[in-house]
Structure 1
Amino acid sequence: MTHAARRLALACTIVLIVPFARAGTPVASGTGGAVATISEQASQSAMAILDKGGNAVDAAVAAAATLGVTDPYSCGIGGGGFMMIYLARDKRVITVDHRETAPSSFTPSVFQENGKDSDFDATLASGASVGVPGTVRGWHEALSRYGTMSFKQVLAPAIGVASKGFAVSENFRRMSAENQKKLQLFTSSSALYFKDGKPLPLGTVLKNPGLAKAYREIAAQGQKAFYQGPMARAMVEAVARPPVAAGVRVRAGKLSMADLANYEARIRQPVKTTYRGYEVYGIPLPSSGGIAVGEALNLLEGYNLKALPRASAEHVYMEASRLAFADRNAYLADPEYVDAPVAGLLSKEYAARRRAQMNAERAGPKALAGDPYPFQNDPSVPQRPQAARLMADNAHTTHLAVSDKEGNIVAYTFTIESWGGSGIVVPGYGFLLNNEMTDFDFSGPHPNVPEAGKRPRSSMAPTIALKNGKPAFTVGSPGGATIITTVLQTIVNHVDFGMPMDKAINAPRLSQRNDVTTDVEPGFGGSAQALALEKLGYKWAAKPQEIGAANAIVFNADGSVTAVSEGKRHGVGSALVQKSAN
């Protein structure tokens, strides 16, 4: 199995959206603020902040912090992410990039041993895979620039959940069991998430006093409590000397106090394209998500999908995704290290040229990267680089979207990488450290090789769509590289096929990422839909797996909002809609 395939198999993401409805249901409509997450506790935390007068940014951080308690295998303060914010008063979209960075000790050969790539699985569960966490700094930037509340206020709900505990669900227990081998390498992780060497029984109340302590320190001292002082030293120690069980050896890492103190989030402009009358905003580099979704939409715009037979329309969707992934893999990486041809890739003229390479009748072979440079129109890109190897990338994550009564929106995807991240719970502080450095390509030449301070390429794709200058919907998902196809397919389902957002999200997912086979979900093989696509030359991956866990908010023409979470994946999501205060 390739590194890319392992990354995908490990990929986990949580999608969190904040529009609003009745508890315990995946769909809710109303006229106030809204929230949709895969965690009832997280949705309630966001709602509590909205009810106290907080805005969408405040509520998003509250929900995210609570997800760090209830869904620790997907996300938390030991990782990083991308937050997209729509500011209603200014009618503008900005993004907060708090992706993890490589420690200053990193070189392009850090994952090379005797001239070969390091073992991926061994690297994944180790101190060497840990990047400088960005989540707390990202929350700080979002709150201080665009929020209305303090850390003390927005972390209070999560502190309550961590202190009082939450009941272990079937989904939580299943993830504990599936990741038991990795987590039990480390004593601090075993002590928190297992009992007598087994996953905690269903219904067990799981308390996390260490994480409550970490949140209290951040609430009292701000982001400095995380990046300096005892908590920072505990992280450095855990990376350099992982708290392994007796007889276990894992590779150590080199994270320094200076790496933590020097970490900075980035405020970046979103990428943008148009599609069927919508303005579609996506996350820019170092995430490839917004660019890949935008390029694929540009390709699809040349077809009347609504008029095509369903199998033909889905075929065109998958071929557009195939070409977008070929370009993504070849060109995209951290913009502070690589001059990527983003304008060319998102050019409508480039899409017209690239569309000619799509076979409208049959599944195509593995595609080569296109040449976007003639469409770049950017004199700052001096020359065309050599063609790069085509690779895939990352793993697990969580997504959230929030809206408030003023019309502000947050679409937020964040992660610790694979399920359970590095597997290392920071002793005394109750949170898992990421293994985000495995999102780099282990060897080059390639734009996404490791370098000191570099942010590994991501697939995260929180998306906000406007129509006639007003918010229309927001959507996002977890799932590693399948994030891109989940978001793209959901947009096609909703916009082209006219599905209500809940049906668009719950429809069977097909993920074609320029591979010989296409990933599908359990139960798809043998269906009429599958058989029709097989006649066009499609082959399915050997092991069907659940793909993504999307959340969305739809802004209806009558001024109401509809919050939508998953109806079956990752357990049933929780959508809540706030009652408007008259």
Structure 2
Amino acid sequence: MPSVRRQVAALTAVLALSVTGGAVISPAFADPRATEKTPTATGYGGAVSTVDPDASAAAIEVLRKGGNAADAAVAAAATLGVTEPYSAGIGGGGYFVFYDAKTGGVGTIDGRETAPAAMPHDAFIDPATITPANPAGSPYRFTPELVTSGVSVGVPGTPATWQRALKRWGTLSLGDALKPAIQVADRGFVVDDTFRQQTLDNKLRFEAFPSTSSLYLPGGDAPAVGSVFQNHDLAATYRLLAKQGTGGFYSGPLAAEIAATVQAPPKTDTTTLPIPAGHMTTADLAAYRAIDQAPTQVDYRGLDVYGMAPSSSGGTTVGESLNILDTFNLSEMSTAGALHHYLEA
């Protein structure tokens, strides 16, 4: 075990979990009808922090029932896929950093998306721009073409990451870890200003796809603040994962539907967005694997600071910044001077 001085810091994003035994603190917010997003809690034994009260409550419930931090992290992440779909979800990818308090070890999983195997080198070149005067063509614009397209879709890594994390460090099955998220998706959550505004920001894009429009733009408008938003289709997909494991996502009918949608996005006849098609196949989905890898590690003033190695830039960037700052005596500087060095690093 590390000494008090030589503590361990694990760099994480979105979700922070700490479990030391004993009772678990609970967010003051638990009412699904409220819109307050700044809960306050006090307690001992463990804590959960996410951007969303429903996700934090899901993780707390897992801990209360005897699950560990890995179990709670997956439960929270799955719930964030329901309540924060603009920054989380099973259609994307990410990273998992885990600190084992018993052994002092840190492990990570790289679950970022991968490019389809048959993706050509010029996939982001707009064929409409290829002319005798410009034989190489010009790239698609990032907005609106690439952010609303099949060509930008990578093979999702999130489900595989959850499954791998539970296998390495968890105590729950994937099905049990998904139960809180299924409940929230079916029951619904209260729409706040942020969710409504994010939906309005994507209104033109969502209108291009019938199924997306029917879910996020009922009656042609974003859900009203204070209304209850339900996602029964996502609940059904989570139930499929609970029953079949990640095989239900990376193979079978769902995988075929994902590949078909990427290759031929089902857009409306009235949209003016180009929506370039992509290259993902069912073979790409079946071949996906989340990667176990060692974390980055730097010594900063007697502390071991761990982070996510490439493909993430997080661990190397933070590590380099800390190595720079380690050469300065920040405690002797003014607040402004210390902040200046921090920002430059």
Normalising by structure 1, what TM-score?
0.51
Q: 1:83 matched to which residue of 2?
A: 96
Q: Which has the higher contact order (CA 8 A, sep 6+)?
A: 1
Q: 2:206 matched to which residue of 1?
A: 183
Superposition deviation, residue 184 in structure 1: 2.1
Instruction: Please tell me the root mean square deviation across aligned C-alpha atoms, in Å.
Output: 1.6
| Structure 2 residue 131 is the aligned partner of structure 1 residue 118 | no
Paired letter, 2:283:
A
Query: 2: CA distance between counterparts of 1:246 and 1:18?
Result: 46
Q: 2:27 matched to which residue of 1?
A: 22
Query: 1: CA distance between counterparts of 2:152 and 2:293?
Result: 26
Cα deviation 1:266-303 (Å, max 9, x = unaligned): 00000100112211001001111100110011011111
Superposition deviation, residue 125 in structure 1: 0.8
The 1:108–1:310 alpha-carbon spacing in structure 2 relative to 1, beyond 3 Å, is farther
Cα deviation 1:319-361 (Å, max 9, x = unaligned): 22xxxxxxxxxxxxxxxxxxxxxxxxxxxxxxxxxxxxxxxxx
Cα deviation 1:179-238 (Å, max 9, x = unaligned): 222222222111111122211111111111100100001001101000011111111111
Which of 297, 322, 329 is the aligned partner of 2:322? 297
Query: 2: CA distance between counterparts of 1:50 and 1:245?
Result: 45
Query: 2: CA distance between counterparts of 1:225 and 1:160?
Result: 20
Normalising by structure 2, what TM-score?
0.85
SS at match of 1:130: coil
Q: 1:312 matched to which residue of 2?
A: 337
Paired letter, 2:69:
A
Paired letter, 1:119:
R
Q: 1:192 matched to which residue of 2?
A: 215
Q: 8 Å contact 2:262–2:279 — kept in the other structure?
A: yes
Mapping for residues 464-475 of structure 1, pairs under 5 Å: none
Paired letter, 1:201:
A
Paired letter, 2:243:
A
What percent identity do the matched residue pairs reach? 46
Superposition deviation, residue 104 in structure 1: 0.8
Q: 1:278 matched to which residue of 2?
A: 303
Which of 33, 44, 67 is the aligned partner of 2:57? 44
Query: 2: CA distance between counterparts of 1:239 and 1:28?
Result: 43
Query: 2: CA distance between counterparts of 1:22 and 1:62?
Result: 16
Which of 68, 75, 94 is the aligned partner of 1:55? 68
Superposition deviation, residue 26 in structure 1: 4.7
SS at match of 1:15: coil
SS at match of 1:196: helix
The 1:57–1:131 alpha-carbon spacing in structure 2 relative to 1, beyond 3 Å, is same
- Structure (1/2) with the larger strand percentage: 1
Cα deviation 1:486-515 (Å, max 9, x = unaligned): xxxxxxxxxxxxxxxxxxxxxxxxxxxxxx
Q: 8 Å contact 2:26–2:57 — kept in the other structure?
A: no
The 1:26–1:309 alpha-carbon spacing in structure 2 relative to 1, beyond 3 Å, is farther
- Structure (1/2) with the larger helix percentage: 2
Superposition deviation, residue 311 in structure 1: 2.6
Mapping for residues 18-167 of structure 1, pairs under 5 Å: 18-19=17-18, 20-24=25-29, 25-26=38-39, 28-113=41-126, 114=130, 115=136, 116-121=138-143, 122-167=145-190
| Shift >6 Å, 4+ stretches | none
Larger CA deviation: 305-314 vs 274-283: 305-314
| Structure 2 residue 293 is the aligned partner of structure 1 residue 268 | yes
Q: 8 Å contact 2:189–2:229 — kept in the other structure?
A: yes
Q: 1:413 matched to which residue of 2?
A: none
Q: 8 Å contact 1:14–1:74 — kept in the other structure?
A: no
Aligned length: 308
| Structure 2 residue 264 is the aligned partner of structure 1 residue 241 | yes
